[in-house]
């Protein structure tokens, strides 16, 4: 009887682990379209290349980081610089 209880507990534990793993995977898969949607929205924001160069050189940051920050702040250079400095 004791070995049967152990088997039931182990089986339930494995099923619970699989259920949790599948939920985590499902959540990850379901959030992928949101990531692409956000990237698409950011790509649509127009930014000034000169502002990217100036901010990157003055703050000694990578241009990609500055570009992303500018896009997140809808091209507002002042708001982007404030965000990068804080």
Q: What is the pTM of this model?
A: 0.62
Residue 73 near residue 83 (C-beta atoms within 8 A): yes
User: Within the chain, what is the greatest distance between any pair of CA atoms?
Assistant: 76
pLDDT in tens, 14-47: 555 545 555 555 555 566 676 678 888 889 999 9
Residue 36 backbone class (left: φ over 0; alpha: ψ -120 to 50; beta: rest): alpha
pLDDT in tens, 33-85: 766 788 888 899 999 999 999 999 999 999 999 999 999 999 999 999 999 99
């Amino acid at each position: 009887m004791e070995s049967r209880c152990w088997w039931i507990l182990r089986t339930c534990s494995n099923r619970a682990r699989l259920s949790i793993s599948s939920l985590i995977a499902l959540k990850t898969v379901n959030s992928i379209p949101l990531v692409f949607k956000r990237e698409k929205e950011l790509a649509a924001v127009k930014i000034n290349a000169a502002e990217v160069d100036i901010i990157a050189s003055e703050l000694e940051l990578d241009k990609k980081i500055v570009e992303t920050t500018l896009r997140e702040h809808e091209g507002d250079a002042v708001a982007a610089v404030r965000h990068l400095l804080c």
